[in-house]
A and B are shown apart, each in its own frame.
Chain A
Amino acid sequence: MAIPLSYNVRNLRLRKGLTVMTALGIALTVATAVFIMALLAGLNRAFGATGDSLNVLVLRKGSTSELAAGGVQRDALQVIKDLPGVAKNNHGEPLVSGEDILVIVLPRKDGTGEVNVTTRFLTPLGIEMRPKVHLIAGRWFTPGQREVVVSKSISQRFAKTNIGDQMRIGNGDWNVVGIFDANGTAHESEIWGDINQLATDFERTVYSSVLLRATDPVSADALKNRANDDQRLELNGMLEPDYYASQTKSGAPIKFVGIIVAIIMAVGSSFAAMNTMYAAVAYRGREIATLRVIGFSRPSILTSFVLESLLLSLLGAIGGIVLMLPFNGMTTGTSNQVTFSEVVFSLRMTPAVVVTAITFAVAMGLLGGLAPAWHAARQDILAALRG
């Protein structure tokens, strides 16, 4: 026969101070773990949600980043445009966008220093090929003008990035004319401008990357292989989502430190929970013996105390999650290890994060509760009754 759960709840309530302190300790550990997981979830979303599986990104052979030295020659772009399987838009233009990436330095709004920001130069065709990105204020840049459009997160995080402001790129001042929303994708960390104006300003003769859209998934794969195999073009083609997914490694330092911190804190909290549970068992020696005399079996005593420990840790888990709720959606930045520039992303407490946090807490509760519960169940009845 099982001991009712209300017995455990009442016991936890009886020793309020002890319960609250132990649960708070677990809550702190859970909060730390949630924080780190939410950071990683946001970062994964920024890169994972970027790219269309019909889009193929073409870089110079051997290169893994749009920022690498050397790139795609202008005449290669013509060849790519004529490849079979390249989709065309309503006006019959092949959907191929030669693009260039620059990194510029912008001061953070909160005065914590200057950061590298990725600036993408493209044609209106390139904008058309990224339907997830849409304008929320102002207008797109006019080709042939020194004009840029910035993402919503960039304009929130950096000084002088509102419509009407000017930013210096190379030797010219570029006007900010619009703000776009990139739906949490990697473009959320970018500034966009006109490629032809840039080519004139910087005397750039190559594109750092070419984006092309295929008519269907089979053609996308064929175009990717075509670009890889062509000896003359010397290119490296990959599906756009794969390219961005490979950049999630930017989260590696956070993940590394995060895992260490979470594990160490969890060990500490388990010891604390164990302490509390041992005390709970010690206080109730006579009570446990009475339960045994009434007829509760050893396994049901064991289960009861493990459950009590789990309740304690669940209380902690809820506390930790509630503690972190205000931070959900907060935007922050880290450096992209591929482009050496800022990635802006939001903390995201996804259902997966919450479930992992609860599992984590339950593990701590089990670890802390098992030994004391075992001890309680094995107690000698007579000795305990005599107290």
Chain B
Amino acid sequence: MTLTRFVTKNAFRNKRRTVLTVLSIGVSLLLLTFMMTVWRSFYIDQGTVQAAQRLIVRHKVSLVFNLPGFYREKIRAIPGVTHVVNEQWFGGLYKDDKPENFFAQFGTDPQELLSVYPEARIPAEQVEAWQHDRAGAIVDSELVKKYKWKIGDRLNIKGTIFPLNLELTIRGIFTAPTPTQTIYFNKTYLDEGYAQVKGSEGVFAVLVDTPEDVPRVAKAIDEEFRNAPRPTKSESERAFQLGFIQMLGNVKAFILSICLAVVFAILLVSANTMAMSIRERTREVALLKTLGFTRRKILGLFVGEAVSLAVLGGVLGTLAAFVLVGGMARQGGFLTGMRVTPPTMLVALLVAALVGFVSAFLPSYHASRVNIVDGLRHIG
């Protein structure tokens, strides 16, 4: 019998306890992986190469103020800028006002939008069809899957911010590297239905020639409009999105405290199990010692058992998280585009192993120090 086999045998000798412990650690690690995935996509993920090359220009004071449309050509004239496109948030309702039926709608310029977002894949003839239809729209392929749309379908979007409803026709379907849950329509349509918005834009998306140039161009744009009646704030696409997350409140502290609570909870569960199972085996430990097992070896046996249980729970938990997040990301909402990555899973497993190690160390240390005679006499 090898030592590994000895450890496995011991780990499963009380099957019910083992299963309960592994499940308990598993669900906790599912939660931990889930929270880490949210954290990663909020604060670590840098997005696509193109995203690092893009800037968003908005009104300095607030996103609710628009910028004059003529800023577009002024931005284009700044060295380093390759493409600029206008984007006007519409914020309308599709079907009903349920949050799960909400997706972003932007009024834009069909001639230039896809030059600013080269990573979006869409057949050229669909783009052309969209450019020729003032009431046309292109839609994210994820939304197409969700609502079973097809090209030529009509979309009625009820305006809430603007006093008009959009009646759009789907002219194209695009696929982005990370799903966006967005539709784009022709801003001219909005201008014609609601004249007050003509000549004003929500934000401008700017594609810069290299990622290194982004900070310089952002500064140059803000400098250009510093003394204008409507000054601008330019920031990388990433920073712009982070702004929305910051608005939710102190998300970092929220996630961190939950992660901490979870890790501590697994530690308790694991320590509890190990303490129970080691106490039961006091007599066996003494027996092992009489057979010549050293203290260190006994310590290793118990710690190994705890670590393998924790890691087993970890594997189950991270796999469950992978499936869960995958499923929820397809439903839309704020998990859109999130994915449990191998590094996240690895970190979760490391946490599990560490917790297993720490939880077993104290009880096994005590067990390994048991006096042989006392141990053999022990009734448990």
User: Bound complex: CA of A212 vs CA of B243, how far in Å?
Assistant: 36
Query: Does A55 interact with chain B (Cβ within 8 Å)?
Result: no
Given A68-B160, A68-B161, A18-B17 contact (CB < 8 Å)? no
Contact between A265 and B262, CB atoms less than 8 A apart: yes
Interface size on A, residues (CB 8 A): 56
Task: List A residues 222-271 near B (Cβ within 8 Å).
Answer: 234, 249, 252-253, 256, 260-261, 264-265, 267-269, 271
Closest chain A CB from B90 CB (angstroms) = 11
Closest chain B CB from A248 CB (angstroms) = 12
Closest chain B CB from A323 CB (angstroms) = 10
* B161 proximity list for chain A (CB < 8 A): 63, 65, 67-69
* B24 proximity list for chain A (CB < 8 A): 268-269, 271-272, 275
- Encode A103-145 as 1/0 by CB contact (under 8 A) with B: 1110000001101100000000000000000000000000000
User: Bound complex: CA of A275 vs CA of B17, how far in Å?
Assistant: 6
Contact between B247 and A278, CB atoms less than 8 A apart: no
Contact between B31 and A275, CB atoms less than 8 A apart: no
* B35 proximity list for chain A (CB < 8 A): 261
User: Bound complex: CA of A332 vs CA of B99, how far in Å?
Assistant: 24
* B343 proximity list for chain A (CB < 8 A): none
> Which residue from A28, A64, A68, A112 sits with its C-beta under 8 Å from B265?
A28
User: Bound complex: CA of A35 vs CA of B255, how far in Å?
Assistant: 13
Contact between A265 and B31, CB atoms less than 8 A apart: yes
Task: List B residues 269-301 near A (Cβ within 8 Å).
Answer: 269, 271-273, 275-276
Contact between A60 and B163, CB atoms less than 8 A apart: yes
> Which residue from B62, B160, B273 sits with its C-beta under 8 Å from A65?
B160
Given A104-B61, A105-B61, A275-B21, A253-B272 contact (CB < 8 Å)? no
Task: List B residues 36-83 near A (Cβ within 8 Å).
Answer: 60-64
Contact between A264 and B261, CB atoms less than 8 A apart: no
Contact between B268 and A252, CB atoms less than 8 A apart: no
What residue of chain B has the Cβ atom nearest to residue A25's Cβ?
A: B268
Query: Does A335 interact with chain B (Cβ within 8 Å)?
Result: yes
User: Bound complex: CA of A265 vs CA of B164, how far in Å?
Assistant: 46
The residue among B23, B243, B249 with the most chain A CB atoms within 10 A of its own CB is: B249
> Which residue from B30, B34, B247, B334 sits with its C-beta under 8 Å from A115?
B247
User: Bound complex: CA of A35 vs CA of B265, how far in Å?
Assistant: 16
Contact between A69 and B197, CB atoms less than 8 A apart: yes
User: Bound complex: CA of A62 vs CA of B161, how far in Å?
Assistant: 8
User: Bound complex: CA of A253 vs CA of B100, how far in Å?
Assistant: 12
* B229 proximity list for chain A (CB < 8 A): 171
Query: Does B2 interact with chain A (Cβ within 8 Å)?
Result: no
Closest chain A CB from B12 CB (angstroms) = 15
* B275 proximity list for chain A (CB < 8 A): 17-18, 21
What residue of chain A has the Cβ atom nearest to residue B66's Cβ?
A: A69
> Which residue from B62, B249, B265 sits with its C-beta under 8 Å from A105?
B62
Other than the given A265-B27, A275-B273, 12 more pairs (CB < 8 A) read: A18-B275, A21-B275, A64-B160, A116-B63, A261-B31, A264-B31, A268-B269, A271-B23, A272-B269, A332-B249, A340-B62, A342-B247
Taking beta carbons and an 8 Å cutoff, which residues of B are in contact with A?
A: 16-17, 20-21, 23-25, 27-28, 30-31, 34-35, 60-64, 99, 158-164, 194, 196-197, 229, 243-244, 246-250, 257-258, 261-262, 264-266, 268-269, 271-273, 275-276, 333-334
- 30 residue pairs from A and B, CB less than 8 Å apart: A18-B276, A24-B268, A29-B261, A32-B261, A35-B257, A62-B160, A62-B163, A65-B161, A67-B161, A68-B160, A69-B197, A105-B60, A116-B64, A116-B247, A170-B61, A260-B34, A261-B258, A264-B34, A265-B265, A268-B25, A269-B265, A272-B265, A275-B272, A275-B273, A332-B249, A333-B249, A334-B247, A334-B248, A335-B244, A340-B247
Taking beta carbons and an 8 Å cutoff, which residues of A are in contact with B?
A: 17-18, 21-22, 24-25, 28-29, 31-32, 35, 60-65, 67-70, 102-105, 112-113, 115-116, 170-171, 234, 249, 252-253, 256, 260-261, 264-265, 267-269, 271-272, 274-276, 278-279, 332-335, 340, 342
